[in-house]
Amino acid sequence: MHIGKVRYLMKTILIRILLMIMMICLYIHGCSGGNDTNDPNEPDNIIFVDVTLAWDENKDHVDGYKIYYSTESFSDHTYNTDSYDDFCEDVGDVTTYRVERLESHVTWFFVVTAYSSYKNESKYSNEVKKMANVL
């Protein structure tokens, strides 16, 4: 075979290999080339997780407990249980409770109050926070 023809074939093979590598890279990393001006689609399949809380029993004529939870710290607000009704669960006379279906990858803040049969309610307990992660 003539040496010029061999070089031509080698160049052709090398160019085809380089083109295949470039195509694979574009496939793996996307082919937008950084010029994509479209917004990405919204996330699908948001996962919710459960968080279990436990506290010491209150011996002072308590009829039940309420758990308040929020994505904002309770220490940043004045004491006002009325403002958290959407994120309040009356859990009754128990000292552990599982708050269900919290959005994952979000930091949640929790406080507990005790209440009497006259519906008098204590101040907030100490605040705890938890990043709700998927296991």
pLDDT tens sequence across 102-129: 888 888 999 999 998 887 888 888 999 8
pLDDT tens sequence across 16-47: 887 888 777 666 665 555 555 666 666 556 66
Cβ–Cβ under 8 Å, residues 125 and 62: no
CATH number of 48-132: 2.60.40.10
Question: Domain ranges in the chain?
Answer: 1-33, 48-132
pTM of the complete model: 0.61
Kindly report the number of other CB atoms within 10 A of residue 116's CB atom: 13
Q: Give the Cα separation of 117 and 94 in Å (integer).
A: 15
Backbone angles phi, psi at 113, to 5 degrees: -125, 155
